[in-house]
Amino acid sequence: MFSKIRLELIIEKPAFKRACRIFEGCGVTGYTALPCMAGYGNGNRWERGTDLSASRDMVMIISIIDDTLLPKLETELKNLIGAHIGVLCVSDVSVFRDGKF
């Protein structure tokens, strides 16, 4: 087993491409995006697909990275969620195949 870092970024859909550019620009080998159904934050409930602009929708991006990439990614993602609605979660995980991440 090998130690890696798991990043979970929940971000508003309009900023999704910005988040993708950050992940790709920092050299991560892969990430997966999932649509979020509904949630609550800042005193407001939100729900996927409430309006046609999709500007209230949220997406979750999950990425497993090597810890050497973390400092740069963390700085850029903090900047992104400083401007956009989002939450970043970082945790330690174990993986079977070291070379994949």
Partner 1 sequence: MSPEIAISTLTSPIVLFFALGLIAALLRSQMTVPEAFAKGLAIYLMMAIGLKGGVAMSKTVLGPDLLLLFIAAAILSFGLPVLAYFALRVGAKMDRINAAATAGHYGSISIVTFVAATQALQLSGIVSSGYMVAIAAMMEVPAIISALILARRGMKSDAKIAGSERGELIREVLLNASVVVLLGSLAIGWISGDAGMEKIEPFFVTPFQGVLCLFLLDMGLSAGRGLRQGWRDLNVGALMFGIYMPLISAGITAVLCKGLGLSLGDAALLITLAASASYIAVPAAMRLALPQAKPSIYLTLSLGVTFPFNLTLGIPLYILLAQMVTG
User: Where is 90: in which H helix or E strand?
Assistant: strand 86-95
SS3 7: strand
Least Å from the CB of residue 44 to partner 1? 5
- Identify the burial level of 91 via C-beta atoms within 10 angstroms of its C-beta, where 0-12 means exposed, 13-18 middle and 19 or more buried: exposed
Residue 65 interacts with partner 1 (CB under 8 A): yes or no:
no
Q: Rounded to an integer, what distance in angstroms lies between the CA atom of residue 69 and that of residue 72?
A: 6
Residue span binding partner 1 (CB under 8 A) among the ranges 61-69, 71-79, 91-99: 71-79
Q: Rounded to an integer, what distance in angstroms lies between the CA atom of residue 101 and that of residue 28?
A: 8
- Closest to partner 1 by CB, 1 or 52: 52
- For partner 1, which residue of 36, 46, 62, 64 counts as binding (CB under 8 A)? 46
Least Å from the CB of residue 95 to partner 1? 26
Tell me which residues touch partner 1 (CB under 8 A).
12, 14-15, 17-22, 25, 43-56, 75-77, 79-80, 83-85
